[in-house]
């Protein structure tokens, strides 16, 4: 493919240009050693997941889980407590000892002699023409182009205008984990998975947490899980659901958030966790002839190709309907294959996408909710199985955990699986396999061993509880 025709003077033309070093950084492997590649990353190598998302948050969550279980150990006959929290020690262990060196090592590798066919650009990139971008290295601005361009520019936190316009100091997932110390009080605006994970972390580590959400928490969950998590959250946090934030101002030692019902809530620290938006609107896509979605993402077809610009691909949060790292990785593998095999394209892998929220209790889901299954005309059979009804649930003294399975009564095929409780994100993996390989749950329940008295017996009993004709 020839370099794009343009009046713009191009400093360097490449076979492949990749914007973003999250999942996009995994594209260049041995198969691409004969291709000239540019990688553009204005921030920290590794993307959201490594630096400010999945990985460090789960490291904090594990500490929070341990602290909370210690505080609740009386139900097991243990007299235990957490005397203090070494927050700076946690920050150092998570970031200085683990995350930051990995990010730095990733950049060093791409800049080093191990990948001589790759150039790294560290200025922000914008399109200035067809497959042509303005970026730079250090202080020097450069114009580069590519036969193929992969946009993997990720997403960023969405900030409500009422907060952004107020001028108050607020935090997001991108900086709240590096606070100098945990706040005495924390106001979280938002009710999704990011809000719920941080609520658990800070509450378990000693902060007084208030959650402000326009709707019920985790509103996309199946009803049985959604109702239960809201009840549990109301027992643990100060929960304000319904009002909308209309403003905020600095108050003595913190921030006060004003709500449209006339009330207000104050805290030492304000955390905004109201979702994420794709970064497509920051790339001047129109100058590259690239169509953008209403949400600010790159419009792509089923293969990850731009619907309007030849030779342009996109993956991950900037284009995907699923802002999940495991989806971005799967999309990366599809795009990598398509770059290498243009006559044998693979579709983006969007079937049976699971998700987990590492709050307390842990939540994991895959497939349809009961309401969705009924709306789509299935004759459903449903079983809700309590963790506390199996032997390992007794060991845990668990009283709130549930597994809910939804299947088609006529075919025996699983439609959805929903877990809330200890190890939910691990337990659900068997049901992801059932969906992926289109197995009959009647056989899954009876034609394999289930280790006794392990926690997967929750799943076994739920399967056996489904009723078929």
pLDDT one-digit tens code per residue, 97-116: 999 999 999 999 999 999 99
Whole-angstrom distance, CA of residue 335 vs CA of residue 108? 25
In CATH, what is the architecture of 12-53+90-155+277-340? Answer: 3-Layer(bba) Sandwich (3.50)
| pLDDT tens per residue, range 276-329 | 999 999 999 999 999 999 999 999 999 999 999 999 999 999 999 999 999 999
Residues of the chain with CATH 3.50.50.60: 12-53+90-155+277-340, 161-274
How many residues are given for the chain? 469
Query: What's CA 150's distance to the chain center, in Å?
Result: 21
Question: Is the pLDDT at 37 greater than 90, yes or no?
Answer: yes
Residue corresponding to tokens 């307390």: 360
Coarse DSSP helix, strand, coil percentages of the chain, rounded to the nearest 5 percent: 35, 25, 40
Strands 12-19 and 37-40: parallel
Distance CA 69, CA 362 (A): 13
Which pLDDT band holds residue 1 (cuts at 50, 70, 90)? low
What b/e sequence results for 155-169 when a residue is b if at least 16 CB atoms lie within 10 Å of its CB, and e otherwise? bbbebbebbeebebe
pLDDT score of 3 more than 80? no
CA distance 90 to 187: 22
Given 3.40.1000.10, 1.20.1250.20, 3.50.50.60, 3.40.605.10, which CATH number is that of 161-274?
3.50.50.60
pLDDT in tens, 117-154: 999 999 999 999 999 999 999 999 999 999 999 999 99
Q: CATH 3.30.390.30 region(s) of the chain?
A: 361-465
Contact yes or no for 291/130 (Cβ under 8 A) = no
| ∠ CA 38-41-47, rounded to 5° | 120
What's the confidence (pLDDT) of residue 469? Answer: 79
Q: Does domain 361-465 have CATH number 3.30.390.30?
A: yes
- Select which of 13, 350, 378, 452 is catalytic: 452
Q: Going by C-beta distance under 8 Å and a sequence separation of 6 or more, which residues neighbour residue 43?
A: 51
Q: Does the pLDDT value for residue 251 go beyond 90? A: no
pTM of the model: 0.96
Residue 454 has what DSSP assignment? Answer: S
Q: Is 452 one of the annotated active-site residues of the chain? A: yes
């Amino acid at each position: 493919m020839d370099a794009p025709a343009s009046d713009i003077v191009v400093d360097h033309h490449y076979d492949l240009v990749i914007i973003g070093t999250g999942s996009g950084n995994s594209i260049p492997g041995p198969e691409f050693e004969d291709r000239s590649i540019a990688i553009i990353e204005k921030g920290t190598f590794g993307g959201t997941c490594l630096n400010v998302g999945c990985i460090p948050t789960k490291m904090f969550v594990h500490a929070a889980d341990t602290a909370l279980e210690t505080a609740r150990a009386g139900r097991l006959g243990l007299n235990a407590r957490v005397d203090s929290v070494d927050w700076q020690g946690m920050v150092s262990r998570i970031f200085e000892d683990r995350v930051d060196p990995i990010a730095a090592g990733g950049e060093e590798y791409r800049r080093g002699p191990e990948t001589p066919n790759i150039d790294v650009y560290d200025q922000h990139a914008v399109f200035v023409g067809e497959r042509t971008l303005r970026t730079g290295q250090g202080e020097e601005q450069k114009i580069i182009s590519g036969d193929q361009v992969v946009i993997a520019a990720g997403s960023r936190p969405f900030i409500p205008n009422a907060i952004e316009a107020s001028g108050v100091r607020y935090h997001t997932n991108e900086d709240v984990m590096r606070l100098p110390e945990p706040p005495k009080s924390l106001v979280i605006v938002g009710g999704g998975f990011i809000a719920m994970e941080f609520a658990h972390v800070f509450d378990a580590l000693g902060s007084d947490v208030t959650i402000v959400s326009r709707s019920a928490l985790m509103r996309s969950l199946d009803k049985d899980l959604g109702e239960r998590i809201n009840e549990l959250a109301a027992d643990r946090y100060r929960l304000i659901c319904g009002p909308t934030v209309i403003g905020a101002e600095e108050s003595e030692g913190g921030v006060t958030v004003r709500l449209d019902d006339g009330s207000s809530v104050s805290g030492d620290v304000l955390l905004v966790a109201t979702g994420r938006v794709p970064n497509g609107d920051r790339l001047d896509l129109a100058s590259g002839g690239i169509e953008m979605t209403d949400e600010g993402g790159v419009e792509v077809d089923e293969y990850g190709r731009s619907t309007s610009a030849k030779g342009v691909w996109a993956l991950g949060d900037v284009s995907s309907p699923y802002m999940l790292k495991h989806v971005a990785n799967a999309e990366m593998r599809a795009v990598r294959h398509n770059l290498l095999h243009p006559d044998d394209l693979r579709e983006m892998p969007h079937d049976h996408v699971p998700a987990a929220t590492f709050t307390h209790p842990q939540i994991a889901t895959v497939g349809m909710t009961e309401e969705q299954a009924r709306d789509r005309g299935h004759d459903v059979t449903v079983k809700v199985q309590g963790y506390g009804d199996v032997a390992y649930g007794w060991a845990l003294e668990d009283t709130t955990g549930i597994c809910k399975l939804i299947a088609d009564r006529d075919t025996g095929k699983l439609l959805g699986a929903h877990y809330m409780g200890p190890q939910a994100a691990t337990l659900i993996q068997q049901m992801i396999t059932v969906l992926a390989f289109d197995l009959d749950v009647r056989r899954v329940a009876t034609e394999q061993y289930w280790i006794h008295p392990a926690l997967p017996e929750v799943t076994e009993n739920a399967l056996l509880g489904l009723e078929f004709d």
